[in-house]
Chain A
Amino acid sequence: MIPLEVLALILPAVGALLPWLFRRDPKLQAASTLIITVLLLITVIQLVLAGETSRITLGSITPTLEFALQVDSLGLLFALVASGLWILNSIYSLGYMHGVYGPRFEGEQRYWSCFSLAIVAAIGIAFSANLLTLFLFYELMTFSTWPLVTHSRSDEAKRSGRIYLGILLGSSTLFLLSAIIWTWVLTGTLEFEAGGFLAGSATSGQVSILILLFCFGSAKCAIFPLHQWLPNAMVAPTPVSALLHAVAVVKAGVFTVLKISTSVIGADLMMSSWGAEVVAWTAAATILFASLVALTRQQLKARLAYSTIGQLNYIVLGAVVAFPAAIEGAALHIAMHAFGKITLFFAAGAIFVASGKTRIDQLAGIGKRMPWTMSAFLIGTLSVLGLPPLCGMWSKWLLAEGMIAAHQWAFLGALIVSSLLSIAYLIPISVQAFFASEPDDASPHGEAPWACRIPLLISAAACLLLFWWPGIFAQLAGMVR
């Protein structure tokens, strides 16, 4: 009997092989991929129901240094979000890729295969038992998503691919790896432990430098000045931007920061070190900076990308402020932001499939042609803003509560200002879509295909439902604190 967490790694790994096995039969390929995604979700739900399980060793380097898996509540939260949205995204991918690139596009197998590998990496990161395993899957994620970013193979894609790999690999090698090894040298272990294991082994100066290395090493969290890869990654096809660059990859970055904050360094050390303070101020500055830049971007996906940068740094801020409520809010934000932001990206892609439009000023009156899509977009917008009755409110609420409890008025201010700014850059899109009149020379088009529309309607509905029943996500996030 294979342990469930190993099964959760094997399933998407098998999913990475299927496109090559069924390369002659697209229908079989699509069907098998969808079955895998559903099986994965079932497996993860089983894990949630089973609660905490024992540690599983995958391989060992020395008796004290192993590749190992250990399920905990934060990991379950991340895995649940990633595997759940993977199903929606696979359906959406079918519609989008066939709509944009035709039924048998070039590099089809590579696309599906790398997608599945990125999910392997996300699940692996979620269930890592130690820093070494986390680093293994962190790098796997970088490399498996590079072919997706450069999917179009244009010069622009190539340039973006270089920036993507350069920032993510450079920071993780230079900072994250050296922090991991330094931790290993100081403490003799890399195993995650609730409440952290660094206390007593390092001086406060060392802890601060480690915090800086860890946080800037996980550049997937898009902290300034290492955020530049994310807007560049938007050259990828929209399903990639939706699942990977709004959910799996970026959340892997903030998950890493959160995990290190709670299980390596520990809340007490976090709160007393100047390193955390530096990171917190940088994150707050990133939030404001990203919101301001988002205002100036006319490309829809670029604006969403900057919005993502801001939202990610809410989580980083929560993780380094490290007050219980802030941690809980940060953890919950991983899930709640995912549902809102994936809806927005799905909608952006649907608009592109249906009309070929990518700029915001082209969207005047599009709400009448694409009522389903734009309604979902509005719901996603409101959720990202954190307004009731949508799920985005809960995590922001908890984050704000954490800031108040920690007496961090400046950071609370940053949250509020950036929320106002996000109203300024997101709401006008919907306003234009629904209330502006279409230019006369507009070419007629209808809605996106159902394969695109269903996933975005489901994710929009989820935003609504999760406000009333935050249920399992709230429970898991609560257990993190």
Chain B
Amino acid sequence: MLSFLSPWAPHFPILLVLLPLLGAVLSPLIGRGDRGWAWAVMTMGATTVVAMALLLRIREVGAVSYPLGGWQAPFGIELYVDLLSAMIALVVAAVGWVVTIYARASIRVEIPGDRLGAFWAVWLLAITGLLGILISGDAFNVYVLLEISSLTIYGLIAMGRSRDRKALVSAFNYLILGSIGAAFILIAIGLLYAQTGTLNMADLRSRLLEGGSEATVNTARAFLLAGLGLKMALFPLHFWMPAAYSTAPSAVAGLLSATATKVGIYMAMRFLYSVFPTDQGALTGANAWVLCACAGGAILFGSASAARQPSLSLLLAYSSVAQVGYIVLGLAVGQIDAMTGSILHIVFHALMKGGLFLCAGIIIYRLGGNEFHRLAGLGRRMPWTSAAIVVGGLGMIGIPGTAGFISKLHLLKGLFVAGQPLLAMLVLVGSVLAAVYTWRFVEVAYLKPVADEDSVPVDEPPGMLWPVWLLIGSSVLFGLHPAPVVKLATEAAQALLGAAG
């Protein structure tokens, strides 16, 4: 498969960033409207193919290092791709592609033409930044790429202003907090550099293992965690996220929920386990406890808040707060099965929540908003969209047969093996709360009568519907036949913890 690409094989890592970057730069020349859209779809398609090829190659030959310009690490800038980063890169590229296809109609309604100007350039640039973080082997590059993606994302969120002017305020608040978070990460990188004199991540690790001031390293880790906590919206640093996701254009919300927070979590995994020294592969002491406490708070608070929100978008955003908690919990416990569960949940949650936000977008596209009072009888008015939301919601609960079950199963097993049955109980309580907020939608959509009989059924645009079902359907497919993904995730977790141990 994809063998026609083999002459390019050594250059896959850089292509993964170059393609969307080139697409972004050329996009204003191609034009706006449908031509710009077609260009973005093509670009993302090519990027996805490269991400797929890269993952296949890494499965064959193992982790790949790519010295930029031929300058060898640690002096030159290194791109470093292993199984974990390749997996998440494929998720980002593939979900990005699907959402790009979906965005065509959605964007036309939500963003007026005169503001559409450089939309696709900004969009592709955001994905460039995210993919760049995943393949970078250099700590400072990670910071720069993070800022590239963040700045473009602030702009994308602000474009929601014509539907809801609150988008501007939430983009502004996100910008302030996000920049503070990024500054914390910058401080952490500076402290690490002061300690070791290097910025290459592999080199950083080997020098940190040689010893040095524990105080500096711990301070760096604390700053890093605080900064990343803001970026990935970890409770209690999550408050920018519901506002931003619910006011952003729906395609943007879909893209962000599937990719942006996930990349933040990836960075946490990478730094905590492949850069900072760990004890036998596990986090110890305060680090583990703080992360577990935040994750537990996220699960309970996020799920409980989700059940009380006035609109579907806000519900989904708070649900994301909770789901980030699950992933961080697995990460913090540092047990092989729990880590596998976390990695699986990064992948599966991207599919499910991406699909769900796109459903919310279809509803906005047709009904002008997705507050719950508008959704009465939606099961009859928009049957396919409602069904997709129900299936996605079942995945959030973690019902067997959906992908959410597979990741939760591994996470729970990990927690039991690590001797944390109480944390496992917390995860299960979170599932029950997820059922509560999912069923809130189900009752409104299926049990409330339609207010206006003439409005049945509403036409569901197929160009938006099939991307949704592509995401939701694949999550069910992975729920029933998850073996290949589970195998990859297990290997990635082994590599991550093994390198640490």
Binding site for B on A (CB under 8 A): 58-63, 67, 132, 135-136, 139-140, 143, 147, 150, 153, 157-158, 161-162, 165, 169-170, 173-174, 177-178, 181-182, 184-185
Stretch at the interface among B205-213, B229-237, B298-306, B428-436: B428-436
A169 touches B435 (CB 8 A): yes
B439 touches A59 (CB 8 A): no
A174 touches B428 (CB 8 A): yes
In the complex, chain B residues whose CB is within 8 Å of the CB of A169: 397, 432, 435
- Please pick, from B439, B446, B447, B482, the residue contacting A61 in the complex, using a CB distance under 8 A: B482
B435 touches A139 (CB 8 A): no
19 CB contacts below 8 A, A to B, read A59-B483, A60-B483, A61-B406, A61-B483, A139-B401, A150-B446, A157-B447, A158-B443, A169-B435, A170-B432, A173-B431, A173-B432, A174-B425, A178-B412, A178-B424, A178-B425, A181-B416, A182-B421, A185-B413
C-alpha gap A170/B413 in the complex (Å): 19
C-alpha gap A82/B424 in the complex (Å): 35
- Is B310 in the interface zone, CB < 8 Å from A? no
B435 touches A158 (CB 8 A): no
B432 touches A174 (CB 8 A): yes
- In chain B, what residue has the closest Cβ to A169? B435
A181 touches B424 (CB 8 A): yes
C-alpha gap A140/B432 in the complex (Å): 16
A185 touches B416 (CB 8 A): yes
B401 touches A140 (CB 8 A): yes
- Please pick, from A61, A62, A143, the residue contacting B394 in the complex, using a CB distance under 8 A: A143
- Is B480 in the interface zone, CB < 8 Å from A? yes
C-alpha gap A371/B487 in the complex (Å): 65
In the complex, chain A residues whose CB is within 8 Å of the CB of B400: 132, 135-136, 139-140
A143 touches B399 (CB 8 A): yes
C-alpha gap A58/B479 in the complex (Å): 12
With A62-B483, A136-B401, A185-B417 already in contact, the answer to whether A165 and B435 are too (CB < 8 A) is yes
In the complex, chain B residues whose CB is within 8 Å of the CB of A59: 480-483
Interface string of B407-442 (1 = CB under 8 A from A): 001001100110001001100110110010001000
C-alpha gap A139/B424 in the complex (Å): 19
In the complex, chain B residues whose CB is within 8 Å of the CB of A140: 400-401
A153 touches B447 (CB 8 A): yes
B412 touches A177 (CB 8 A): yes
- Is B486 in the interface zone, CB < 8 Å from A? yes
In the complex, chain B residues whose CB is within 8 Å of the CB of A181: 409, 412-413, 416, 424
CB distance from A329 to the nearest CB of B (A): 31
- Is B449 in the interface zone, CB < 8 Å from A? yes
- In chain B, what residue has the closest Cβ to A170? B432
A147 touches B394 (CB 8 A): no
In the complex, chain A residues whose CB is within 8 Å of the CB of B447: 150, 153, 157-158, 161
In the complex, chain B residues whose CB is within 8 Å of the CB of A170: 432, 435
Chain A contact residues, majority secondary structure: helix
- In chain B, what residue has the closest Cβ to A63? B483
- In chain B, what residue has the closest Cβ to A65? B409
- In chain A, what residue has the closest Cβ to B431? A173
- Please pick, from B394, B399, B406, B416, the residue contacting A182 in the complex, using a CB distance under 8 A: B416
In the complex, chain A residues whose CB is within 8 Å of the CB of B424: 178, 181
In the complex, chain A residues whose CB is within 8 Å of the CB of B394: 143
CB distance from A348 to the nearest CB of B (A): 25
With A60-B481, A61-B483 already in contact, the answer to whether A139 and B399 are too (CB < 8 A) is yes
C-alpha gap A373/B409 in the complex (Å): 49
C-alpha gap A341/B421 in the complex (Å): 41
B446 touches A147 (CB 8 A): yes
C-alpha gap A169/B439 in the complex (Å): 12
C-alpha gap A25/B435 in the complex (Å): 36
CB distance from B342 to the nearest CB of A (A): 16
Interface string of B376-409 (1 = CB under 8 A from A): 0000000000000000001001111100001001
Interface string of B429-468 (1 = CB under 8 A from A): 1011001000100010011010000000000000000000
CB distance from B401 to the nearest CB of A (A): 6
CB distance from B247 to the nearest CB of A (A): 31
A162 touches B416 (CB 8 A): no
B449 touches A153 (CB 8 A): yes
C-alpha gap A337/B321 in the complex (Å): 48
- In chain A, what residue has the closest Cβ to B483? A60
In the complex, chain B residues whose CB is within 8 Å of the CB of A161: 443, 447
CB distance from B292 to the nearest CB of A (A): 18
C-alpha gap A186/B432 in the complex (Å): 25
CB distance from B333 to the nearest CB of A (A): 14
Q: Which of the listed residues A136, A150, A174, A177 has the most CB atoms from chain B within 10 Å of its own CB?
A: A177
In the complex, chain B residues whose CB is within 8 Å of the CB of A162: 439, 443
In the complex, chain B residues whose CB is within 8 Å of the CB of A67: 480
Ranked 8 nearest A-B pairs via Cβ? A136-B400, A185-B416, A59-B481, A60-B483, A181-B412, A153-B447, A59-B480, A173-B431
In the complex, chain A residues whose CB is within 8 Å of the CB of B412: 177-178, 181
In the complex, chain A residues whose CB is within 8 Å of the CB of B428: 173-174, 177-178
Q: Which of the listed residues B397, B398, B447, B480 has the most CB atoms from chain A within 10 Å of its own CB?
A: B447
C-alpha gap A387/B447 in the complex (Å): 44
CB distance from A170 to the nearest CB of B (A): 5
- In chain B, what residue has the closest Cβ to A147? B446
In the complex, chain A residues whose CB is within 8 Å of the CB of B482: 59, 61
- Please pick, from B406, B413, B432, B435, the residue contacting A184 in the complex, using a CB distance under 8 A: B413
CB distance from B51 to the nearest CB of A (A): 25
C-alpha gap A139/B394 in the complex (Å): 11
C-alpha gap A437/B483 in the complex (Å): 68
- In chain A, what residue has the closest Cβ to B430? A173
CB distance from B427 to the nearest CB of A (A): 9
In the complex, chain A residues whose CB is within 8 Å of the CB of B483: 59-63
A165 touches B399 (CB 8 A): no
- In chain A, what residue has the closest Cβ to B490? A62
In the complex, chain B residues whose CB is within 8 Å of the CB of A158: 443, 447
B481 touches A174 (CB 8 A): no
In the complex, chain A residues whose CB is within 8 Å of the CB of B399: 139, 143
CB distance from A82 to the nearest CB of B (A): 20
CB distance from A127 to the nearest CB of B (A): 16
8 A Cβ contacts from B331-383 to A? none
Supplied contacts A62-B483, A143-B394, A147-B446, 6 more A-B pairs, CB within 8 Å: A62-B487, A63-B483, A136-B401, A140-B400, A174-B429, A181-B413
In the complex, chain A residues whose CB is within 8 Å of the CB of B487: 62
CB distance from A10 to the nearest CB of B (A): 15
CB distance from A412 to the nearest CB of B (A): 37
C-alpha gap A185/B487 in the complex (Å): 19
In the complex, chain A residues whose CB is within 8 Å of the CB of B449: 153
C-alpha gap A139/B398 in the complex (Å): 10
C-alpha gap A432/B428 in the complex (Å): 50
In the complex, chain A residues whose CB is within 8 Å of the CB of B431: 173
C-alpha gap A286/B40 in the complex (Å): 64
- In chain A, what residue has the closest Cβ to B449? A153
CB distance from B198 to the nearest CB of A (A): 39
C-alpha gap A67/B449 in the complex (Å): 39
C-alpha gap A150/B443 in the complex (Å): 10
C-alpha gap A147/B421 in the complex (Å): 34
C-alpha gap A128/B435 in the complex (Å): 25
In the complex, chain A residues whose CB is within 8 Å of the CB of B406: 61
C-alpha gap A182/B406 in the complex (Å): 16
In the complex, chain A residues whose CB is within 8 Å of the CB of B398: 173
C-alpha gap A24/B397 in the complex (Å): 35
C-alpha gap A169/B416 in the complex (Å): 21
C-alpha gap A161/B448 in the complex (Å): 13
In the complex, chain B residues whose CB is within 8 Å of the CB of A173: 397-398, 428, 431-432, 435
C-alpha gap A61/B432 in the complex (Å): 23
In the complex, chain A residues whose CB is within 8 Å of the CB of B481: 59-60
B401 touches A61 (CB 8 A): no
In the complex, chain B residues whose CB is within 8 Å of the CB of A143: 394, 399
CB distance from B491 to the nearest CB of A (A): 12
